[in-house]
Amino acid sequence: MGPPSSSGFYVSRAAALLLAGLAAALLLLLAVLAALYGHCARVAPSELQDCGVPNVAPSPPGELEGLPTTRKPDPSLEPTVAVTPDNWRPPGPWDQMRLPPWLVPLHYELELWPRLRPDELSPPALRFTGRVNITVRCTVTTARLLLHSLLLDCDSAEVRGPLSLGTGDATVGRVPVDDVWFAVDMQYMVLELREALQPGSLYELQLSFSGPLYHDTREGLFLNVYTDQGERRALLASQMEPTFARNVFPCFDEPALKATFNITIIHHPSYVALSNMPKLGQSEKEDVNGSKWTVTTFYTTPRMSTYLATFAICDYDHVSRTERGKEIRIWARKDAIANGTADFALNITGPIFSFLEDLFNISYPLPKTDIIALPAFDNRAMENWGLMIFDESLLLLQPNDRLTEKKMVISYIVSHEVGHQWFGNLVTMSWWNDIWLNEGFASYFEFGVINYLYPKFPSNEVFFSNILYDVLRKDHALMSRAVSTKMENFTETNEINELFDLFTYNKGASVTRMLASFLNENLFISALKSYLETFSYLNAEQDDLWRHFQMAIDDQSKIVLPATVKSIMDRWTHQSGFPVITLNVSTGIVKQEPFYLGKVKNQTLLGHNDTWIVPILWIKNGTTQSLVWLDKSCQVFPEMQVSDSDHDWVILNLNMTGYYRVSYDKLGWKKLSQQLERDPKVIPVIHRLQLINDAFSLSKNNYIEIETALDLTKYLAEEDEIIVWHAVLVNLVTRDLVYDVNNYDIYPLLKKYLLKRLTSIWNIYSTIIRENVAALQDDYLALISLEKLFEAACLLGLEDCLQLSRELFKNWASHPEKEIPYPIKTVILCYGIALGSDKEWDFLFNIYTNNTKEEDRIQLAYAMSCSKDPWILHRYMEYAITRSPSNFDQRNIMEDVADSEVGRYIAKDFLVNNWQAVSDRYGPQSLIILMYILGRTISTDLQIMELQQFFSPMLEEHERLAVQAKLQTIKNENMKTRNRNARIAAWLQKNT
């Protein structure tokens, strides 16, 4: 996202000095003129009167006179600021991303009144009004107050105080507010006072405001429209994290500025209102039209950050249970509650709370927990204290979900959000640059909870599949993103949103797991208990966490570290990327180097000069060895040498707990390959998975030869673990490899090589699919791996796979109640169409047209692009651009067709006459994506030129330049892939 538009002119320092030297008469004249201009750019004069502001305000003492400002934001539009003398302002604290430390909020009295009625669900501009009284402590003398506010209208503003100690809300005075204006760029409301506030005194800011309810985005206070019990209904809910509380009420919207909240919600009597705390009371209120509204008040919250304040107004039912004397309620659509779909989540939530309470020896401090399932919630789930919010697809378990991974997904996400009640809610990071202290630990403890709920669960393999796999693919030494970043690196509020990525979640969880692995469990938990107890209701930084781990280390003598916890861990959180650890088994020499994408031999790569302090847990001949530390670029570990014995082998990174990849010298890899061929079961599943994954990644990026990785696959006829097969097939069987005619040499060899070894694992799972599909419901690794197994088998032309696809598709078409097993549904639908005729296609199109479930429509839309009949695909693309957009709003049909086996050859021709319609339907950017899809197999400059000439009329000039560079990159990558494939083909020739 680009930088926000400028707020106007700024006065340079030189100009400021010049102005300061002008005569007093000139200063007075400028002050009057600026004040007159300034009010045009702020709040309307009538509104200023409501705020207690005179028409012409004198400048506050000690401040620049005549201070013009930014315009007041329009709730429906991004404010536009004309370059005129009435909206310039000199530099000031409103240009900084962080609030000045002048005021410390202590308590909010917040009232919200959304005008939602059940008989008027989505008027064009649904709004809410509100009032907030904020008790603050002043820390410095100031006549200017800054707090956050975005797209809110200020209806009135007062400051009362200093507050008299011991007299409750009574005040001894009132501080006049001369002006209220908005610094839009940094999302501030600025109050200019006639008198300065005094340090050490308490004041109350009293603000009335109004703002929009959002329909299309899930930020601030937003609307969900849905169907329940056959009727159209609506609800309101909130999403404040990270910086959307300011969209709902003026506040000090930074995580360290914790305060208590008294919340009041005014709502239609037919709705129920929910918030962080239990309901305190209800009363009735009548509006100016005589309509009656319900006023619901809630008990005072503990001290918490603004991003945890939360509200919901809904017409829902709930199920409940009590856990250790505290009520847990799950709210959902009445149909969903009646059908029992909330029961699974309800039954696991209480035990998860109890497990974490016992683990940390800290009780959950709130008297209740509500969890609400929204029909649409873009953020998946949010951990708000006392009222967690979920997308219903990730909380409610449907009867037909038994053959999906949904049960485990719900378990993981509920565990994650409950984990936040300690990591995030009770102890909060001081600022967003350390958000991993929330998300990394909540992600890590998901797995501790799952191990408790499901003791036989293969936790190491699942951690690899869910967490490590993705982040190791995307992380590298030249990546600009580290787990923890310096606060001064942030210049825009929008940059905070970008922190919620796999580096915060996945890498944060991975380095936490590594920390736990080189400490024992008791020490790890003991340090966390100390950390949580010390910073309860407070804020912490990364160094605070390291300090408590160091205290735990210093209090015992059994575990000795090579450096302080901070020295060890800062390198993993402050540096991007991760190391490749290479062991020479002949000499015992272990070295580390940063992992680069596409390492180049004998070339110095800029970026990392530092090393990591690497914990190495390892096994030798199947026996776990003592932990060693690699704290230099190269060290010798004689105990890692292997003998000439066939049974002597070493694997580093026990259970893949270290956040790094491992390589070996040629002898080390050879020993492992030989052991796999001799008896693969001697090497644990997690390490067979590790060997395949590391070897193919390292070979792709030029750390080892591709032949070394291929040697590890010779044993696969004996491999019966589907998760290991998944790793192999992801690396070797891709659609481009099969569909690209240039791969005519490698495909038949790979087909012969893999099908010979695939028979055993295929027979296991094809038999289960045919005879006892219910056996899969508790096999999580199979549920997440089966789709790739079936796709690869069919791509390789395994006749039984193609036949099974025909059978399952035909049975489902004839008897819709005989559903295709979910894990392979996408593959079966695709091959049902690919192997069928227009009859099957028309049948599927009819199902698609009459289906309203988004997930089903996505699968069906993709499957229809699998046809091998050109005329059918041409008709499909015609449908996509001529029929109502709502008919094809789940997928980009053009991209699906262009990416298919036959469609790639006709999509280009279709674009010749229809590119404008495609651009109108899917947007101009879709043409660029289509170019990349159609050009993904290019390997010559001539092909690039032809593609550019074809697309040139469709693109703007700046797009043409960007596209040329991208196509050149694709060509270079394809040349590398072609060379790699030639070596794979040569290896297959020798080994097939």
Structure tokens at 924: 């101009």
- Please indicate whether residue 831 is annotated as part of the active site: no
How far apart are the C-alpha atoms of 95 and 675, rounded to whole Å? Answer: 63
Looking from the CA of 506 toward its CB, the CA atoms found within 13 Å total 20
What is the H or E stretch that residue 498 is in? none
Strand 220-228 and strand 231-239: pairing? antiparallel
Q: Phi and psi of 587, rounded to 5°?
A: -110, -15
How far apart are the C-alpha atoms of 830 and 256, rounded to whole Å? Answer: 52
Cα separation values, 589 from 563, 585, 601, 619, 639, Å: 21, 7, 20, 16, 10
Cis bond leading into 242, ω under 30°?
yes
Cα separation values, 553 from 136, 611, 645, 659, 862, Å: 40, 23, 40, 22, 55
Cα separation values, 674 from 448, 585, 717, 718, Å: 35, 15, 14, 13
Question: Residue 168: CB partners within 8 Å, gap ≥ 6?
Answer: none
Contact 829, 822 (CB under 8 A): no
Give me the torsion for CA of 255, 257, 258, 260, rounded to 10°.
-130
How far apart are the C-alpha atoms of 918 and 921, rounded to whole Å? Answer: 5
| Helix-strand-coil split of the chain, %, nearest 5 | 45, 20, 35
- Please indicate whether residue 932 is annotated as part of the active site: no
How far apart are the C-alpha atoms of 105 and 666, rounded to whole Å? Answer: 63
How far apart are the C-alpha atoms of 143 and 133, rounded to whole Å? Answer: 19
Question: How many other C-beta atoms are found inside a 10 Å radius of the C-beta of residue 130?
Answer: 23
How far apart are the C-alpha atoms of 785 and 133, rounded to whole Å? Answer: 54
How many angstroms from the chain centroid is the CA of residue 969? 28
Cis bond leading into 278, ω under 30°?
no
C-alpha closest to that of 618 among 608, 607, 626 = 626
DSSP per-residue letters across 809-823: HHHHHH-TTSPPPGG
E strands, 115-168, are: 127-138, 142-148, 153-160
Strand 326-332 and strand 317-323: pairing? antiparallel
Contact 229, 167 (CB under 8 A): no
| Given 111, 192, 204, 417, the catalytic residue | 417
| Given 505, 660, 753, 922, the catalytic residue | 505
What is the H or E stretch that residue 602 is in? none
C-alpha closest to that of 801 among 790, 811, 809, 812 = 790
Structure tokens at 609: 């000069």
Residues annotated catalytic, as ranges: 417, 505
